Amino acid sequence: MQNTACQLLVVGSIGIDTVETPAERRVEILGGSASFACVAASYFAPTAMVGVVGTDFPEAYMDLYRRSGIDLQGLQIQEGQTFRWSGVYEENMDCRTTLSTDLNVFESFSPEIPENYRDIPYLFLGNIQPALQLHVLDQIRKPEFVMVDTMDLWINIAREDLLRVIARVDLLTVNDSEARLLTGASNLRKAARELLQMGPRYVLIKKGEHGSVLFSKDSVFILPAYLLENVVDPTGAGDTFAGAFMGALAEKKATDERSLRQAMLLGNVVASFGVEGFSLDRLQALSREEITERADLLRAMMAV
């Protein structure tokens, strides 16, 4: 795939994870927001990745990206070790404990956007430092739609930069606790109203196994999660959702609210597949037919 054909640009982290869940423990598996988002998006639209890895990054993981058709011109390879994270999930899978975080080459990461990426119309800014997100926005010329993710750490230590980012994007996605932390409002509808006043056209609040809620100035859309009997590894579920969501928008080349709602459903479905396996095991083995079939099932579950 040529990068001139890319419709979606993803900027985020790339990591090597050690993950323990009630199912089992896996060592040195592929992770990072850019990994999950790009592979999920690739089922819908040609996707380009910007991130950084070390010289220790396994060639097998590079091959995984290539098999998904991800454009890797923006992937930096620096001398040293790749970002590493390890954690343990509790029995209910809702809570996890981080055991170690080693930034390694990610500590000095400065996302430089190749010239022929700067006109890509759709942009997902994964959960990285707000100053880096601003650096990316300064390099992109006239994006059609920008989605940004963040976390409680940046809300606490980089609030001013984060507010500058939020003012420049079309959609902010946070979980419910982050929405409350950022606004000080305990009621989610009030929190969403305050977040919309910060500048984005839309706010998408993630509620884990309970689905997600899309807010605009004039509407609220509630989407339940697809119900699963067996969750193997929830790592990267939010990034998988975001990647598929943005990929679906890029495929349709539309950003009206109906298109956003349809993209949410597809993001939900792809994320439900992702958590059925460790790392990207299930995601990379998907087919578009499976996605369509499960999306139809979810629509049937919601019919009234």
Q: Where are the alpha helices (DSSP H) in the chain?
A: 33-41, 59-67, 130-137, 152-157, 159-166, 176-183, 188-197, 237-252, 257-274, 288-302
Whether residue 239 lies in the annotated active site: yes
- In whole angstroms, give the CA distance from residue 72 to residue 61: 12
- In whole angstroms, give the CA distance from residue 76 to residue 62: 12
Task: Give the distance from CA 225 to its chain's centroid.
Answer: 16
Strand order through the sheet with 15-20: 25-31, 15-20, 84-89, 96-102
Q: Give helix then strand counts, H and E, for the chain.
A: 10, 13
Catalytic position from the list 17, 71, 170, 239: 239
In terms of phi and psi (left: phi > 0; alpha: psi -120 to 50; beta: otherwise), the region of 123 is beta
HEC-encoded secondary structure of 166-205: HCCCCEEEEEHHHHHHHHCCCCHHHHHHHHHHCCCCEEEE
- In whole angstroms, give the CA distance from residue 69 to residue 89: 31
Write the CB contacts of 55 (distance below 8 Å, at least 6 apart in sequence).
77, 78, 79, 80
**Beta bridge pairs of residue 221:** 214
Q: For tokens 């993710």, what's the residue?
A: 149
Write the CB contacts of 156 (distance below 8 Å, at least 6 apart in sequence).
181
- In whole angstroms, give the CA distance from residue 144 to residue 164: 19
User: Which residue numbers are catalytic?
Assistant: 239
